[in-house]
Amino acid sequence: MKHFEVNFDGLVGPTHNYAGLSFGNVASLSNAASASSPRQAAKQGLMKMKALHDLGLKQGVLAPQERPDMATLRRLGFSGTDAQVLAKAAKEAPAILAACCSASSMWTANAATISPSADTSDGRVHFTPANLTNKFHRSLEPAVTGRILQAIFNDDRHFQHHKHLPDNDHFGDEGAANHTRLCSHYGHAGVELFVYGREAFNAAAPAPKKYPARQTLEASQAIARLHGLDDDTVVYLQQNPDVIDAGVFHNDVISVGNQNLLFYHQDAFVDTQAKFAEIRRKFGDGELHFVEVPRDQVSVAEAVKTYLFNTQVVTLPSGIMAIIAPTECEESDAVRTYLASLVEQDSPIKEVHYMDVKQSMRNGGGPACLRLRVALNDEEVAAVNPSCLLDDALFNRLNTWVDKHYREELHVADLADPALLMESRDALDELTQILGLGSVYPFQLD
């Protein structure tokens, strides 16, 4: 049997904008209120998907959410026609309107946590959408995310879907952004690494002082229970609270893993050496590479600015690993020099590919934020909704679809435009047909 890692990238939605919604995420706050280009953003994302497909990797597509989220605006008391709801929200509560218009579901590393069948007690692939409770705009995502995942992985012989965790900060769950899996081959049982920012039920435990820790230990433990993971193959690792306070709002901004490699910053974790010993013990036999980036070569601030760790580390069909890095890494002397030396070192990473995802980067989302990893065997791949797997035809079709429906430029003031709502719904209605999803959006189900 063959095994693969399939990356499901989030298609950027038609309302992509910069609203400064994410306290603790430096890029989101510093680009607040600048003009965005939904069309460029969607096309940059599609180019990345196509580039990975052309490297010989399996690539999937995850549909965006319905925005503006009219159901939430109505739930919050704005009433009348759709146009009146938008006008009232824009006048009385522009920050709430902006939150209800965010295209943040593009960062599918936060869509869900996934455990491959080799790790779970019932031999199925388990999915739990992330509740994303820490940010209001993101907490609006999990229900529709769950429906989209069920429409793609729609075969209960292979796939088990769980409901997102209770919507409360005690169980704050940010999905795969705080979860890495180490294994010798994608099909072998691996060690699942859950990285948390704080303990919700232990006030004495270390926690950041300035910015929020979005992921709790208790949420990670709940996911491990739901997915039927064996304690002997799970490691809980605390993120260094000081780096959260320096703008590392998710673990995937300071470390990334692939197969038997963990690429991380010297300051990423608490109690690093003891935890690495636990990983080694639970990993068992087989080579394991810990590639540490020293702070005197790349500072935490430079890592946050360039997203050196929000790179995708992928295994190419030839067996070597490649890093997919944002062009911001190439533009930084320190990071470009570091990456040039990394491929010469004794590590499996042998290639660097730079990609332009600047529209997403300005909101704090790099290449790794834009993708959800799903390790599957060939039978499981055959059970995936084939319309969501990228090939040249789907790439061309989605580009044409973006050209037809997306605006070239969008300002926060445009979010109240009723025409944007109609454009967005028309686009998504057509998209659900292209991707064979059926009805997943509230406007389709009402």
What are the catalytic residues? 174, 250, 369
Token pair recorded at residue 148: 């989209």
Q: Does 377 bind ligand SUG (CB under 6 A)?
A: no
Q: Does 250 bind ligand SUG (CB under 6 A)?
A: yes
**Among the residue ranges 21-29, 82-90, 160-168, 334-342, the one whose residues contact ligand SUG (CB under 6 A):** 21-29
Output 260 or 363, the one with its CB closest to ligand SUG. 363
Compute the least distance from the CB of residue 401 to ligand SUG, in Å.
23
Q: Give the Cβ contact number of residue 436 at 10 Å.
A: 13
Token pair recorded at residue 135: 């940010």
Q: Does 190 bind ligand SUG (CB under 6 A)?
A: no
User: Which residues have C-beta within 8 Å of that of residue 372, sequence separation ≥ 6?
Assistant: 7, 8, 9, 10, 62, 108, 109, 111, 112, 114, 175, 176
**Among the residue ranges 15-23, 59-67, 222-230, 327-335, the one whose residues contact ligand SUG (CB under 6 A):** 15-23
Q: Does 365 bind ligand SUG (CB under 6 A)?
A: yes
Which residue of 40, 44, 59, 102 would you call a contact of ligand SUG, by CB under 6 A?
Answer: 102
Residue 19's nearest CA partner among 74, 62, 60, 67 is: 67
Q: Are 178 and 192 contacting, i.e. CB atoms less than 8 angstroms apart?
A: no
Name the one residue in this structure whose structure tokens are 């499996």: 348
Cis-peptide, bond into residue 326, ω within 30° of zero: no
Output 189 or 213, the one with its CB closest to ligand SUG. 213
Output 5 or 252, the one with its CB closest to ligand SUG. 252
Output 96 or 434, the one with its CB closest to ligand SUG. 96
Q: Give the Cβ contact number of residue 280 at 10 Å.
A: 13
Compute the least distance from the CB of residue 361 to ligand SUG, in Å.
10
Q: Does 172 bind ligand SUG (CB under 6 A)?
A: no
Q: What are the distances in angstroms from CA 136 to CA 99, 133, 165, 368, 433? A: 7, 7, 15, 22, 29
Compute the least distance from the CB of residue 110 to ligand SUG, in Å.
5
User: Which residues have C-beta within 8 Å of that of residue 277, sequence separation ≥ 6?
Assistant: none
Output 142 or 364, the one with its CB closest to ligand SUG. 364
Return residues touching ligand SUG (CB under 6 A).
18-22, 25, 28, 102, 104, 107, 109-110, 135, 138, 177, 249-250, 252-253, 363-365, 369
